């Protein structure tokens, strides 16, 4: 692609020089560091953690108190695991301590500000420096290229809430790569056809979007026999990619999906490379822990809460931050030769785990995955648990879903939540995303 090459080799370097941005430099560093041996990357991670802790100890009132209360002095840190004596940081604590969590020397007026939604429905303001933003963009770009997409090539994006500042920032990061757009708040036959028309004109190589939106698009493409949307690479991001949805997307487009995991607070956490053997952890920018209920670290193959320390955000530090997701670390290295360790997948948001009568928890997405594979005729499904014994199943169904399937589905949920539970089926034309544009598969309202 001539135009893409022109944008990549000429226009961007010129623009970057004029602007004085460091993204190109960071990007080149990251392209090289990914193949460093694991031990070198761990040493760097420890050095970056120590630098962050020393800075924060001197310049951040909120963390100074936290370190002192836990008895942690930055000089005592010999291994990344040593910060485990610090308590886990919650969204609520950040919200309550906004006045002291911004480090000295960083006036909020001089920082980039954006917002995240959060499971409680309350927004949280986030601040980073321009420099930190450039690092994040550089990192996203490296991982975008793992899919085979090249800088400067057009992108087809599926995103909700087009005015979302995170997305704007993201597109600034894909600078000079033209993009077209399908709003996930409105995926209909008409909008998909319009997207196809745009696609034919702009000819993107990369299709990029929320997992479930990609799935909905793939369904339309299949149903309507659309041939004009033909990406060379697909990146699924921002929410869990269910195995059944992945299979459909890959079947329809004839491509492997590159799954990615991250959040607004700390940006990219992990992503798949071309070997598809798991998601590489972004250990150049983050220290990522998987913590079990008893506070110890999960072993390979074991689920644990994902706790993240951002090594690059000095303005509004995130140290041992609870992302409120559960994930599974993976043993061994990837055959691609990159030194970054792997995780298997994200099993869901903590808030999406449902409560069984005996008090134990079950991942809502697993129940959905089981239902979709067991019972024919279910296109989409959402579970809402109003009380331990009150379950609503919202369903978008096709002709194969009859009384028999409805009965069997209800029985299945009785097996999980007890015979006394009230299981109500609600048939609906569509399941709407939240205002962020993301879908929630399961919602637990049990306190």
Nearest distance from residue 174's CB to Zn ion, in Å? 22
Closer residue to Zn ion (CB): 255 or 333: 333
Tokens of 413: 């949920």
Q: Which is nearer to Zn ion, 23 or 338 (CB)?
A: 338
Count of chain residues binding Zn ion (CB under 5 A)? 5
Q: How far is the CB of 280 from Zn ion (least distance, A)?
A: 6
Task: Mark 299-338 with x for binding to Zn ion (rule: CB under 5 A) and - for no binding.
Answer: -----------------------------------x-x-x
Least distance in Å: CB of 143 to Zn ion? 11
* Least separation in angstroms between CB 343 and Zn ion: 12
Q: Are residues 116 and 169 in contact, defined by beta-carbon separation less than 8 angstroms? A: no
Nearer to Zn ion, 252 or 334 (CB): 334
Dihedral (Cα; 142, 144, 149, 151), 10-degree rounding: -50
Rounded to 10°, the helix 364-374/243-253 angle is 60
Between 66 and 338, name the residue whose CB sits nearer to Zn ion: 338
Q: Which is nearer to Zn ion, 255 or 425 (CB)?
A: 255
Q: Which stretch binds Zn ion (CB under 5 A): 141-149, 212-220, 234-242, 267-275?
A: 267-275
**Separation CA 45–CA 35 (nearest Å):** 15
Minimum Å gap between C-beta 184 and Zn ion is 29
Smallest distance from the beta carbon of 337 to Zn ion, in angstroms?
7
Site for Zn ion in 188-247 (CB under 5 A): none
Nearer to Zn ion, 124 or 336 (CB): 336
Q: Report the site for Zn ion in 151-190 (rule: CB under 5 A).
A: none
Label the pairing between strands 304-310 and 321-330.
antiparallel
- The nearer residue to Zn ion, 236 or 371, going by C-beta atoms, is 236
- The reply on whether position 273 binds Zn ion by CB under 5 A is yes
**How many whole angstroms separate alpha carbon 21 and alpha carbon 136?**
13
Residues numbered 334 to 363 that lie near Zn ion (CB under 5 A) are 334, 336, 338
Whether 279 contacts 271, CB under 8 Å: yes
Indicate whether 36 belongs to the interface with Zn ion (CB under 5 A): no
Q: Which of 36, 202, 275, 372 is the binder for Zn ion (CB under 5 A)?
A: 275
Separation CA 41–CA 334 (nearest Å): 15
| Block residue for tokens 């927004």 | 123
Closest approach of Zn ion to the CB of residue 136, in Å: 21
Kind of pairing, strands 155-159 and 179-183?
parallel
Identify which range of 168-176, 185-193, 269-277, 303-311 contacts Zn ion by CB under 5 A.
Answer: 269-277
> What tokens does 125 get?
């303001």
Q: Is the CB of 48 or the CB of 330 nearer to Zn ion?
A: 330
- Pick between residue 9 and residue 276 the one whose CB is nearest to Zn ion: 276
Token look-up 């193959």 returns 301
Helix (H, G, I), strand (E, B) or coil at 403: helix
- Using CA atoms, how far apart are residues 303 and 229, in angstroms rounded to an integer? 37
Residue 35 to residue 28: CA distance in whole angstroms: 12
Among candidate residues 434, 444, 446, 440, the one with its CA nearest the CA of residue 123: 434
Cα separation, 59 vs 103, in Å, equals 6
3-state helix, strand, coil in the chain (%, to 5): 40, 25, 35
Q: Least distance to Zn ion from the beta carbon of 335, Å?
A: 7
User: In whole angstroms, how close is the CB of 338 to Zn ion at the nearest point?
Assistant: 5
Residues in contact with Zn ion by the rule CB under 5 A: 273, 275, 334, 336, 338
């Amino acid at each position: 692609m001539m135009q893409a090459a022109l944008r990549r080799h000429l226009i961007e370097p010129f623009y970057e020089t004029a602007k004085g941005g460091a993204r190109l430099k960071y990007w080149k560093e990251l392209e090289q560091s990914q193949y460093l041996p694991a031990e070198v990357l761990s040493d760097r991670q420890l050095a970056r953690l120590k630098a962050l802790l020393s800075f924060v100890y001197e310049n951040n009132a909120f963390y100074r108190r936290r370190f002192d209360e836990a008895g942690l002095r930055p000089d005592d840190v010999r291994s990344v695991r040593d910060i485990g004596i610090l308590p886990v940081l919650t969204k609520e604590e950040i919200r309550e301590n906004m006045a002291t969590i911004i480090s000295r020397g960083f006036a909020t007026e001089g920082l980039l500000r954006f917002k995240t939604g959060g499971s409680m429905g309350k927004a949280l303001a986030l601040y980073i420096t321009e420099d930190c933003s450039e690092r994040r963009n550089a990192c996203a770009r490296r991982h975008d290229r793992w899919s085979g997409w090249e800088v400067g090539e057009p992108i087809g994006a599926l995103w909700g809430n087009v005015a979302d500042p995170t997305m704007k920032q993201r597109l600034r990061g894909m600078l000079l790569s033209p993009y077209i757009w399908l709003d996930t708040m409105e995926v209909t036959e008409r909008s998909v056809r319009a997207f196809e028309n745009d696609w034919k004109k702009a000819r993107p190589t990369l299709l990029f979007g929320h997992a479930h939106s990609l799935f909905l698009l793939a369904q339309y493409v299949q149903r309507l026999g659309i041939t004009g949307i033909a990406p060379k690479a697909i990146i699924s991001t921002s929410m869990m990619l269910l195995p059944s949805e992945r299979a459909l997307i890959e079947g329809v487009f004839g491509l492997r999906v590159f799954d990615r995991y991250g959040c607004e607070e700390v940006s990219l956490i992990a992503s798949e490379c071309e070997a598809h053997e798991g998601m590489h952890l972004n250990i150049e920018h983050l220290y990522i822990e998987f913590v079990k209920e008893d506070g110890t670290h999960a072993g390979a193959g074991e689920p644990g809460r994902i706790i993240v320390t951002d090594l690059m955000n000095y303005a509004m530090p995130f140290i041992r931050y609870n992302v409120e997701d559960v994930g599974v670390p993976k043993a061994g290295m990837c055959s691609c030769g990159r030194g970054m360790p792997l995780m298997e997948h994200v099993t869901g948001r903590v808030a999406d785990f449902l409560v069984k009568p005996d008090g134990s928890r079950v991942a809502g997405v697993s129940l959905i995955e089981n239902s979709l594979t067991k019972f024919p005729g279910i296109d989409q499904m959402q579970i809402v648990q109003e009380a331990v014994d009150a379950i609503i199943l919202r369903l978008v169904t096709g002709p194969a879903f009859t009384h028999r399937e409805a009965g069997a589905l209800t029985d299945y949920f009785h097996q999980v939540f007890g015979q006394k539970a009230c299981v109500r089926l609600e048939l609906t034309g569509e399941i709407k995303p939240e205002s962020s544009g993301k879908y929630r598969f399961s919602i637990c309202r049990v306190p």
